Structure formats: C-alpha cells, structure tokens
Chain A
Amino acid sequence: MSTIVFKNKPRVVGWYSVAGKKESEGPLGNTFSRVVKDEYYGEKTHEAAERKLFVTAIQGVIRDASVTPDAVFAGDLLNQIVSASFAMRDIGLPYVGIYGACSTMALSLIVAASYVDAGLLKTTVAAAGSHFATAERQYRTPLEFGNQRPPSAQWTVTGAGATMLTHNQTSPIVVTSATIGRVIDYGIKDVNNMGAAMAPAAADTLARHFKNTKTKPSDYDAIFTGDLGRIGEEALRDLLKDEGYTLGDNYYDCGKLVYSGKQKVDMGGSGCGCSAITLNGFIFSKLQTGEYKRVLFMATGALLSPTTSYQGETIPSVANAVVFEHQTIKTEGTTK
C-alpha cells in the first residue's frame, strides 16, 4: 500500500519559518518566526541569501527545541540543491539531500518521520526553502528585464521552513500517515501555468490517500495544498470530483494564503518556501492549540528543468501528502 501509517507516532516538537519582505506584508505576515526584509540577507548574491535562509531556519528550530537532531533532510529548487547542501556545510550535522521540486517540504517530512517512526534515528529535522530572485534567474529572465508576466504565472516565495520530529511526548502534534506521490504527466507544456501541470498529480495522491485511509475530505479540519494557485486549485477540485471526492470549504492552497490579492502575484505564491513557511507557522500553530485536530498537508512539485522545457518536453509533476493530528499529551503515570 502506498500510504504509510506511522505506528509509533513521531511528533512535531519544533518548527521555524523565516520569510522575506513581500511575504511579511501578506496575510500570514505575523505567523513567521522571523522576517528578513533585505533580499540579499547581508550577502553578496541571492543564492547566498537563500542558503542563509536555510541556515536560519534549521538553526532556529534546533535552538528553540534545544535538541541536536541526528540528521537533517532538506532540499530546494536550485540545480544540485546547492542551497540546502551549502547551508549544511555551516551546520555540520548529518544530511540527506531531498529533491521533490516544490513538494520538498512534504517529501522531506515523510522521509524524516519515517526514520523516527522506524526507530533508526531519534530526532530529525525536515527543511525546505526558496528565493524569488534565484528561481527567476534559473527558470525565467533577468530580474531587471522589462517583460510582462502572463496572468497564469505564480510568484516564488522567499523563505525557508524547518520542522523537528522526534518520539518525545511533549508535543500534541503527531504525524499519523503519509502518501508518497506518483509522477503524473497530463501533457501540459506551459511553464507559466504550473498549477495546471501539478493539479493531476495532486488529485492522484489525494484520491489514493482517501481510498487507502478510508477517509473523505470532510474528515479533515483542513486540507492544504502547497502551491497550486488559483488555476491549479480549480482543476484539482474538478479532477477530484471525477474520482468521487468533493473538496469543501476546509480546503486551502498555501500559494493563495501567503499573498493578498493586491500584491501583484497573479495566481499566487509558489516554490519550496511557499508550503514550508505556511506549514512551519500558521498550520502548526493551529495544530498546537487544537483549533485543527486533523490536517492533511500536501505539497505539489513540477519536476521540470529549463533544459527539458527548451527541448519541448511536457511537465511531469508529483504530490506528497502528510497527515498531522492534534492528540492530547498523556503524562507519565496517568496512561493506562
């Protein structure tokens, strides 16, 4: 079965998010652990700034939890996932690089939680992040080039998020299950319409998850997708209807949550950082307080590269889903 059920209940014991200026001006502005207004973050290049975002997020979660993890699972969008790897050069902990494009936050969480659940590692950290300027350079045009974005385009989030997982019973947030995505390609070629490319993968993973866990959309207090944007969200709703599932008002897209309509971001936010900063702040806070009892978090990724696009290939995509539950903490001696 492609859905993992975590029997030993790995728990989220810490989270940290660091976001850029534009994100801080959005609706989630006050949910981030830290805001960095300078797009260069005091560094010489945007790439170095992205690395520093990773360092800040990972060191932040370690400092807040006062626990040194056994390994870090992290990844980003840049070629050879340099941001995560170079950041780990400064952090010096054992590291596994993860690439799932914009689904990296969910994918690294699944891997990190699996190691804890299996008892192979005691404490792990999952992290992901992105930077608007580095993504523009790698996938699109120079920043100062005076072109217009098509209305279907999305805006790469500047920010990084990190989550700490362990068996420790001091946190109410439990990772209960996860569904690993299949690579799905519905033949979309338009690199300015990522939501359309990723929606079929999202529908596939969600439908399999519901089927495998014998749940339906209304069984969750909230369902979040990573960065489908407005078009992707609409397509996901319609594709799931074909599978017999209807997404209600409890469905949100992080790409739509992270910016307000006035911020000129067209269809919404995107990038690894989009789901990472929304999860490691807004979502976990609500799980912590118990406002959300059960959340399905699914990040989607478009697995293309500039080379494959120029060569006329279509865009394969993947979606990875994780379920978090708020469970009351049982203190020693009171459990029977």
Chain B
Amino acid sequence: MNKQEYAEYIKKITPKSKMWGSLARAFLVGGLICLLGEGIGALYKMWLPQYDQTQIGSLVSCTLIFLAAFLTGIGVYDKIGYFAGGGSIVPITGFSNSITSAAMEYRKEGIIFGTCANMFKIAGPVIVVGVAVAMLCGLGYFIVGLFL
C-alpha cells in the first residue's frame, strides 16, 4: 500500500459520527438553551418593565453566560457537551464554557501566566474572527451606502 492507497483505506475503515443522532441531540439541547433564554427574557420583562428590548437582551445574555460558567465550574457542562455537541457549543453558553474551562485548567500555573494568559485560548480565535468579519461587513455596508 502506498500513502495514497493507505489514506483511502483508513478513510474506509474509520467509523464516522452518526450524523442524524448528533443533529437531533444538537437541535434538542440547542433549542432548549434558546427556549431558556426566551423564558428568562420574559421574566425580566415582567420584573423590569422600565427596561427596553435591547437592555433585556443583554440581561438574558449575561444570565446565560453566568449559568454556563457555573455549570462548567461544578463539572456539569462538559457532560452536556458530550451529549449535545454543537447544540451546546454554538449558543453563547458554549462561549462561556470555553473561557471558563480554560481559566480553570490553567489556574495551576498561577493567576497571571495561567488563568489570564490562557483563558481565551479556545475563545480567542472566535473573538478575532468575529471582530475582523464585523469590520469587513461594516466596510461593505459603508461602500454600498455611498452608491445608494
């Protein structure tokens, strides 16, 4: 077997993730997290009628971020993630988990060189790409706006 044949052979014998099951679980858990967000939003709206929709939205995000960080801290979120996959990674709770888990993991190297230096190890690329894409979109929006 040469390298190319071997690569094809390995591809053939390597089991793949079961797509439909993964999709269903991701849909279920991801949907539940969003539903939870909606519920929290409705509660905030009831308690704090003076706040507008944007402010309520921020409060909901903060609450979900806190909940995910808390669940990561007590060692539950990784079990949810093992079950749900993308369903618990994509929502804002997954972002919270990626930062909290890294902060916890590297705490043993100290606050500065451990936690502070490493907490964005996984989330960092998301932030960088997010900012860069937002900038490009803004630029596009600006240029299109000049001709309209």
Interface residues of A (CB under 8 A from B): 44-45, 137, 141-152, 186-188, 193, 196, 200, 231, 234-235, 238-239, 242
The answer to whether residues A200 and B6 also contact, given A143-B78, A239-B1 and a CB cut-off of 8 A, is: yes
Q: Is the CB of A145 within 8 A of B7?
A: no
Considering the chains assembled together, what is the distance between the CA atoms of A196 and B105 in angstroms? 30
Residues from chain B with Cβ under 8 Å of A235 in the complex: 9-10, 13
Closest-by-CB residue of A relative to B82 is A148
Considering the chains assembled together, what is the distance between the CA atoms of A231 and B11 in angstroms? 10
Closest-by-CB residue of A relative to B25 is A148
Interface residues of B (CB under 8 A from A): 1, 3, 6-7, 9-10, 13-17, 22, 72-73, 75, 77-82, 84-85, 88-89, 94, 97-98, 100-102, 104-106, 108, 121-122
Q: Is the CB of B85 within 8 A of A188?
A: no
Considering the chains assembled together, what is the distance between the CA atoms of A234 and B14 in angstroms? 10
Q: Which 9 A-B pairs have the closest CB atoms?
A: A146-B81, A142-B105, A144-B101, A142-B101, A145-B101, A187-B3, A196-B10, A151-B15, A148-B85
* A and B contact pairs by CB, cutoff 8 A, 9 listed: A141-B122, A144-B101, A144-B105, A145-B81, A146-B78, A147-B81, A186-B7, A187-B6, A231-B13
* Closest CB in chain B relative to A148 CB, distance in Å: 5
Q: Is the CB of A152 within 8 A of B15?
A: yes
The prevalent SS among residues of A at the interface is: loop
Closest-by-CB residue of A relative to B121 is A142
Q: Is the CB of A146 within 8 A of B94?
A: yes
Considering the chains assembled together, what is the distance between the CA atoms of A45 and B110 in angstroms? 12
Q: Is the CB of B10 within 8 A of A146?
A: no
Q: Is the CB of A188 within 8 A of B78?
A: no
Residues from chain B with Cβ under 8 Å of A186 in the complex: 3, 6-7
Considering the chains assembled together, what is the distance between the CA atoms of A150 and B19 in angstroms? 12
Residues from chain B with Cβ under 8 Å of A149 in the complex: 82
Closest-by-CB residue of B relative to A143 is B105
Q: Is the CB of B104 within 8 A of A142?
A: yes
Considering the chains assembled together, what is the distance between the CA atoms of A146 and B101 in angstroms? 9
Considering the chains assembled together, what is the distance between the CA atoms of A152 and B106 in angstroms? 27
Q: Is the CB of B9 within 8 A of A146?
A: no
Partner of B9, one of A45, A193, A238: A238
